[in-house]
Chains A and B, each alone.
Chain A
């Protein structure tokens, strides 16, 4: 499971304060805690309050990579902000994210290639998010086509079919499973299948339980990456266990210990 730790985000008060005061302490702590929890990437998002988002992104990326060697996910849909983050990056980078409009994909894939970064691509464009499987798969195929056109490695492409919150449209989450399955078969090697997990259960009373069950069900259909709360140990252990059940790792009685390493 490629777990993208979501916590370094200006939407959270501690990070927002850290950015405002240029005080790296809270960010460093979150980088270390999430790395110890097993994050594959640390998502870095300046939020909406930063006065100069590009400068704030540079600062966040620098603070994180001065603290840990964990790969970083630069989280912004603003091209200039992503570029600013990349300009100072030393760690491995995942760009989070590009929309599926052809011109957006051209811009972001060119940039990602230049920095040898991976890229999350959303199955949506400026007209909005499709509500069904067929239209999302149409986007997925166009994304793969673009990657081939740009000679961008498919193993560096993450397709995100845009998971809706369960309390917004209850029909949507179940559609995802079919999509993960189909994306797996789109190419060889296939692109990764990613979702924003916390968004899915935001505002519900059983936030953690919903996230945990969706993640394990998703893994059984081929979900292999998520922006998620890596500090939720039960969630991380559930993901490992789902992968064990899907025969993705060799079982041993101490499989949790082995996979957490």
Chain B
């Protein structure tokens, strides 16, 4: 008996975006990263092109993180006070495809750093590494609108990925990104309908759809991973069936979320039955990342070098 071919035919595709601009394109990056382009659901390449390989962005903070367990801070102990050196280490030693600068220290409750200080930090990172940069605000609307505008100008022409905008706060950063030639992250916390809404709002400001990356907020393993997974899966299906307002690549924040869980943070003495944290923590981050890969992710934000290495290896083997 002939086995029927049950492969689906998809009419749409995920948009392709190139992040980073080299000298001839008006920037100073030595490397650019292209994401998106999938014409099938992940790992179903008999239905269509899987597109560009997912990439790993390693997190760098503008201030030394206060709540990191030793397992996570140890590999960066010598650079935690210097974001530029931290970024350099991520790229040169740990193979980060991109750097994600998280502006934790600009939050009014966490240091209230000024826009000028932050612009200097951004410039120092751009000078230290050649990979494209993601710059992520502190998610305090007022402060972000102030700082991100100046940060965007400081990195003008570098084609960074800036975020995040929400349905209640999108105008300032969208206009800024448009003017300075950056790409933009639209955030809707685990809500696919709002995700589409933010994309529509941003596109109504004439922001090109092919310069948007979507973020749904991420749940770590055991902490809502399945919600993130199912939303991202639905988003990928919407893109493949031709919904232009949902055809954007997707970013996940795995590192930060995985290292907030008690399973990765708890000290060995507290829970000896869980095994050594030096293994357990990176494993929690790895499993969160590789699980989400299957839902359709284009950029994964990560923290621990061991997890980064494992996930990159997994991507290389599967794509």
Contacts and interface: CB of A to CB of B under 8 A. Distances in A.
Nearest to B235: A250
A261 B242 CA distance: 12
A257 B200 contact: yes
A253 B201 CA distance: 10
Interface stretch (B31-39, B99-107, B189-197): B189-197
- Which interface residue of B195, B196, B243, B246 has the most chain A CB atoms within 10 A? B196
Contact of A252 (B197, B204, B244): B197
Interface string A221-261: 00000000000000000000000000001111111011001
B79 interface: no
Contacts of A261: 244
B203 to A, nearest CB: 8
B193 A250 contact: yes
Nearest to B238: A250
A258 B204 CA distance: 10
Nearest to A257: B200
Contacts of A251: 193, 196
B290 interface: no
B245 interface: yes
A251 B243 CA distance: 11
A87 to B, nearest CB: 30
Contacts of A258: 196, 200, 244-245
B91 to A, nearest CB: 37
Chain B residues touching A, majority SS: helix
A258 B243 CA distance: 9
Interface in B183-224: 192-197, 200-201, 204
Given A257-B200, A258-B200, A250 B192 contact: yes
Contacts of A252: 193-197, 200, 245
Interface in B224-245: 238, 243-245
A155 B85 CA distance: 58
A51 to B, nearest CB: 43
Contacts of B195: 252
A258 B246 CA distance: 10
Nearest to B192: A250
B204 A257 contact: yes
Contacts of B238: 250
Nearest to B196: A252
Contacts of A254: 197, 200-201, 204
A96 B178 CA distance: 45
Contacts of B243: 249-250
Nearest to B197: A252
A69 B109 CA distance: 55
Contacts of A257: 200, 204
Contacts of B192: 250
Contacts of B244: 258, 261
A252 B246 CA distance: 11
A250 B197 CA distance: 10
Contacts of B197: 252-254
A118 to B, nearest CB: 16
23 contacts: A250-B192, A250-B193, A250-B238, A250-B243, A250-B245, A250-B246, A251-B196, A252-B193, A252-B196, A252-B197, A252-B245, A253-B193, A254-B197, A254-B200, A254-B204, A255-B196, A257-B200, A257-B204, A258-B196, A258-B200, A258-B244, A258-B245, A261-B244
Given A252-B196, A252-B197, A258-B245, 14 more contacts: A250-B192, A250-B238, A250-B246, A251-B193, A252-B193, A252-B195, A252-B200, A252-B245, A253-B197, A254-B197, A254-B201, A257-B204, A258-B196, A258-B200
Interface of B: 192-197, 200-201, 204, 238, 243-246
In the A-B complex, list the 8 residue pairs whose CB atoms are closest, starting with the nearest: A252-B196, A252-B197, A254-B200, A258-B245, A251-B193, A253-B197, A252-B193, A258-B200
